[in-house]
Amino acid sequence: MLAAQLMNHIQGIETFKKFGKVTRVVGLMIESQGPESSIGDVCKIHVNSPKNGHQIILAEVVGFNDENVVLMPFTSLREISIGCLVEGTGSPLEVKVGPELIGKVLDSMGNPIDGSTLPKGLVTVPTENDPPNPFTRPPINDQIEVGVKAIDGMLTVGTGQRVGIFAGSGVGKSTLLGMIARNTRADLNVIALIGERGREVREFIERDLGPEGLSRSIVVAATGDQPALMRIKGAFTATAIAEYFRDRGLNVMLMMDSVTRVAMAQREIGLATGEPPAQKGYTPSVFAILPKLLERTGTNLKGSITAFYTVLVDGDDMNEPIADTVRGILDGHIVLDRTLANKGQYPAINVLKSVSRLMNHISSNEHVRAAERLRELYYTYSKSEDLINIGAYKRGTSKEIDESIQYEPLITSFLKQGFRDKVTLEDTVNELIALSNGGRK
């Protein structure tokens, strides 16, 4: 058995290397004459600098121009010149994964950001995989506790469900993700911070996530100043890490902030390679890459990946192209409302505009009825709120509105939660049912 494995390994070793040379650099792109390669392959560009000596810059094949190879580097174009040697590796990007990475913060290439070396005993996995076959996806029947009352009570999430968190800037997306990471009952968190400001990465890890959350998480960070390819690879690397642990039977919680910046990075690459802009400047490849990325999460026969993807909506426009596309792919959406945030209600989840497509299938009938009753009361109050606030509504005119006025402060209090508060799913459901029956537990 061992001899056969060694023979297969020896036969797989290439006895020669493929080289090309840089012929042109335009904008974000590098053109080279050779080497023989395929779309997605990683190449090594050998740079000899008088200042820094010999360096190797990694780049990915993103297209072809006549007989030239079009490359996009993972780092900057600085010091790349005509004639630089381009070495083909013949394989796409791979990263090393294992339980030893838990508690670490990695870059898009899977290396520790703090400059430390990777632990030994890790397994190499590709960053790009196909989504599971639909017939190998078990149905979602179990709830997963996220520790946020508004979600557990009114928008219950199932183990393996994929949910979008939609909001404008500064409404509390990162804070909500930190709450979920600390409070969830999932076996492991994988958190992807894509396109974030540099200062926000450390702030999220130390303030929002905290030592408790980091001790059961793997964080992949690609800041906004990094090239577009690094931001895209950050999303794919985080998903590949989550897939590795899912295939070992774990229930993984994947959180990505934000999928909008992944789409923006793909737009940069698409425009640089000559794609025509389509909706709001987004190229066709953006709408092709989103389902390929988002469909990789969910359940398979071994484990599950429950995923939360934040979507940054421009001007709080919920119908802009990326928000509309992502909402159609995922199994539910949570809308953070700036009006609620301005009133001091955190997390600022608008339960009337949010939906969990699986809640009715995974929650008890009593739980579902209680949530529907509170949603109905909340809707009745919000529809009449302006009349009530200006004194134009006279009590006794409508029994439904009178009841909603009585319940509104109780419902608002239920939906509010302190940043450090942790509430179990059982306690949330009991409180919700008691509230729907006329009072608090």
Output the six-digit token pair for 414. 């239920």
pLDDT at residue 130, rounded to an integer: 92
Give the C-alpha distances (Å, rounded to integers) separating 127 from 95, 304, 330, 367, 404: 7, 18, 21, 40, 51
Q: Looking at residue 56, what DSSP letter applies?
A: E
Q: Taking the domain 17-92, which CATH number applies?
A: 2.40.10.170
pLDDT of 295 > 90? The answer is yes
Strands (E), 39-101: 42-49, 53-65, 68-73, 85-88, 94-97
Burial of 359 from C-beta contacts in 10 A (0-12 / 13-18 / 19+): buried
Q: Can you give the pLDDT at residue 193?
A: 95
The pLDDT value recorded for residue 441 is 44
pLDDT the model gives residue 192 = 96
Q: Is 99 exposed, middle or buried (0-12, 13-18, 19+ CB in 10 A)?
A: middle
Which residue is it, tokens 């600022």?
Answer: 348
pLDDT digits (tens, 9 = 90+) for 349-367: 999 999 999 999 999 999 9
Span 134-153, average pLDDT: 94
Q: How far is the CA of 284 from the CAs of 28, 52, 63, 271, 327, in angstroms? A: 19, 40, 15, 10, 18
Instruction: Identify whether the C-beta of residue 131 lies closer than 8 Å to the C-beta of residue 295.
Output: yes
Is it the case that residue 440 has pLDDT exceeding 60?
Answer: no
Residues ≥6 apart with Cβ < 8 Å to 278 = 284, 287
| Predicted pLDDT at 433 | 95
Q: What percent of the chain has a predicted confidence (pLDDT) above 70?
A: 95
- The backbone torsions φ and ψ at residue 48, rounded to the nearest 5 degrees and listed phi first, read -110, 110
Please state, in angstroms and rounded to a whole number, the distance separating the CA atoms of residues 374 and 395.
20
Cβ atoms of 358 and 298 closer than 8 Å = no
- Between the CA of residue 306 and those of 14, 157, 283, 301, 309, what are the distances in Å? 40, 9, 28, 14, 10
- Residue 84's SS3 state is coil
Q: Do residues 184 and 145 touch, judged by C-beta distance below 8 A? A: yes
pLDDT tens digits for 153-202? 999 999 999 999 998 888 888 889 999 999 998 999 999 999 988 788 88
Segment 18-25 mean pLDDT: 88
Give me the pLDDT at residue 53, please: 78
pLDDT in tens, 383-402: 887 777 777 777 877 888 88
CA–centroid distance for 308 within its chain: 6
Residue range 96-120: mean pLDDT, rounded: 92
d(CA 139, CA 310): 24
Asked if 95-362 and 366-437 have one fold, the answer is no
Q: Which of 236, 305, 307 is nearest to 265 (CA)?
A: 236
d(CA 241, CA 246): 9
With 80 as the cut, is the pLDDT of residue 1 above it? Answer: no
Domain extent listing, the chain: 17-92, 95-362, 366-437
Q: What average pLDDT does range 265-288 have in this prediction?
A: 89
Per-residue pLDDT band at 17 (split at 50, 70, 90): confident
Q: For residue range 217-257, list pLDDT tens digits in order.
A: 999 999 988 989 999 999 999 999 999 999 999 999 999 98
- The dihedral built from the CA positions of residue 386, 387, 391 and 394, taken in this order, carries a sign that is negative
Burial 105-126 (b: 16+ CB within 10 A, else e): bbbbbbeebeeeebeeebeebe
Task: Give the span between the Cα atoms of 210 and 19, in whole angstroms.
Answer: 47
Q: What is the CATH number of domain 95-362?
A: 3.40.50.12240
* pLDDT for residue 207: 86
| 23-57: pLDDT as tens digits | 988 878 899 998 888 998 999 999 887 777 788 98
Residue 75 to residue 106: CA distance in whole angstroms: 16
By CB neighbour count within 10 A (0-12 exposed, 13-18 middle, 19+ buried), where does 385 fall? middle
Q: Is the peptide bond before 347 cis (omega within 30 degrees of 0)?
A: yes
Token pair belonging to 58: 């990694």
- Give CA–CA dist 4/13, Å, rounded: 15
What pLDDT band is residue 63 in, cutting at 50, 70 and 90? confident
> What topology does CATH give the domain 366-437?
Substrate Binding Domain Of Dnak; Chain:A; Domain 2 (1.20.1270)
Tell me what the pLDDT averaged over the chain comes to.
89
State residue 16's pLDDT score: 61
Flag whether pLDDT at 210 surpasses 70: yes
DSSP 198: H
Strand ranges (E), 313-397: 332-335, 355-356
Q: Which two tokens stand for residue 188?
A: 């492991």
Average pLDDT over residues 309-325: 84
Q: What is the identity of the amino acid at 25?
A: V
Our measurement of the distance from residue 369's CA atom to the centroid of its chain's CA atoms, rounded to an integer in Å, reads: 31
Helix (H) or strand (E) holding 166: strand 162-167
Query: What are the structure tokens assigned to 229, written together?
Result: 């390819």
Which pLDDT does position 290 carry in this prediction? Answer: 95
pLDDT tier for residue 15 given thresholds of 50, 70 and 90: low
Asked if 163 contacts 157 with a C-beta cutoff of 8 angstroms, the reply is: yes
Identify the sign of the CA torsion 98, 100, 106, 109: negative
Residue 121 is predicted with a pLDDT of 87
What gap in Å lies between CA 167 and CA 170, rounded to an integer?
Answer: 8
E strand spans, 269-397: 298-299, 304-312, 332-335, 355-356
